[in-house]
Amino acid sequence: MFKFLRRIGGMLGDSKPVYRWNPQLDANVGRVSDGLDYTTLASTMESADTGDIATWVKFTQEMEAKDAHLGAVARTRRLALTGIDWEINPGQTSREEDKPLAKAAAEYVRNCLLDSGSFAKMLTHLAKAIGPNIAVTEIVWDGVKPAEFRNVPGNRLLIDYSRSPEIRITTVEDPVGQVARRGKFIVHTPDYQIPNAFENTVSRSQGKWWLMKNLAIADWATFIEVFGMPTRWATYREGASTTQINVIKNALASMGSLSYGLVPEGTNLEMREAGNRGNDPYLAMIEWIERKQSIGWLGQTLTTEQGDSGARAMAQVHDQVRKDILLDDMRAEAATIRDQLFAPMLDVGFPQVGATVPIFERIPKVSRNRTEDANVLVVAQQAGLQIDKAWAHDHLSIPEPEEDADVLTPVEPAAAAAPGGGFGGGGF
């Protein structure tokens, strides 16, 4: 009983938010990816290993912001999760007498979160953990229920390994940071590992490809500038004075921003490319890296999965995340929500002994081929199976007719079985 009252007191004291925007900490946080090379890349990517979560998250955000393809596949992965409808269901229990209490607990949690208004935004924020493997939200309590969810930016996060491996939230008053304790904060690490949660993440695997791509683009731009732009050449005779040479040089410079050269008359100047290039190596490298980025984030890429199999096959794969990856994202999200939000909500607002913690579930939309389903129904009818008429209408997305509606005449079984008959052949 004492422990329960202490939990209640702790939650009631959490009405004051820890994270509040502050210009000293949140404005002009600077860039960490400008001028990056392989040496600084290694130290930047290892920043999270030493507890500098702020630098790590900032770097991952800048990678996605600067790389259009990387940003697109990252958004596709996250939207595949957040675009699915969700519901809160009673927790599973083996005893029949516990089911009413589990149902009441789910109803309590559902009503509290619908009143919150910021729960949906919190889910979108937690999805940003896919990649850097960290996203933190603060719960601001109003009595015994959440009143607000404050999404904590990455520049406020750190780990002080000399004290503990827990995520901390920095403030002006406490630069070392307050521990993001359970019940006050939701810490989402979908790829959590022991001992280092940042050792093998999606964003970490992308760092090298991102830098290689940026260097290739820079080299490509230099190549275009040197070999793709017209160049003005001028010569001067032997014995020309410095004044005469400068007059020619100034004339070339004043003709525009295109490159120019000034050499003595008779000089043999030749600009050579480095061997036979064949197909453009810069474009080939960029396309190869983008395939790696797509595979790392989505588990597939149109090029590797479909090749030149046509627009229809490509359309079936476009903007899709491999199912097992999406299911893993759903499981990680559900576990975090249940353990770090639903369970504390029941601790303080629904203290009935034995109430099973509700389950957060995403409900994916099932894509069905209605033509194939209709043909199955025809075969089932011919086999004498009993089929619920309302179920068939719902399954085929065909509304039931209104009373006195002018309906189509059903096709006879023999006609349905004939070529061209039935739902699949145009006889309906």
| Cα dihedral sign, 35-38-39-40 | positive
CB 143 within 8 A of CB 133: no
Higher pLDDT, 374 or 208: 208
pLDDT tens digit sequence for 161-203 = 999 989 999 999 999 999 999 999 999 999 876 667 888 889 9
Q: From the CB of residue 251, how many other CB atoms can be counted at a distance below 10 Å?
A: 13
Asked if the model's pLDDT at residue 5 lies above 60, the reply is no
Confidence band of 291 (pLDDT split at 50, 70, 90): very high
DSSP state of 182: B
Question: What percentage of the chain's residues is helix, strand, coil (to nearest 5)?
Answer: 50, 10, 40
Q: 76 — phi, psi (to 5°)?
A: -60, -45
pTM for the complete prediction?
0.74
Asked if the model's pLDDT at residue 89 lies above 60, the reply is yes
DSSP line for 316-368: HHTT---HHHHHHHHHHHHHHHIIIIIHHHHHHH---TTPPPPEEEE-PPPP-
Q: What are the domain boundaries of the chain? A: 2-203+323-362, 370-425
Q: What is the pLDDT of residue 183?
A: 94
pLDDT tens digit sequence for 41-62 = 888 888 888 999 999 999 999 9
Cis peptide before 195 (omega within 30 of 0): yes
> CA 290 → CA 30, 216, 236, 294, 296, distances in Å?
27, 12, 49, 6, 10
Q: What is the pLDDT of residue 231?
A: 62
| Ranges assigned E (strand) in 238-311 | 260-264
How far apart are the C-alpha atoms of 190 and 200, rounded to whole Å?
Answer: 11
Q: What is the pLDDT of residue 255?
A: 59
The alpha carbon of 244 is separated from its chain's Cα centroid by a whole number of angstroms, namely 62
Structure tokens at 328: 């893993």
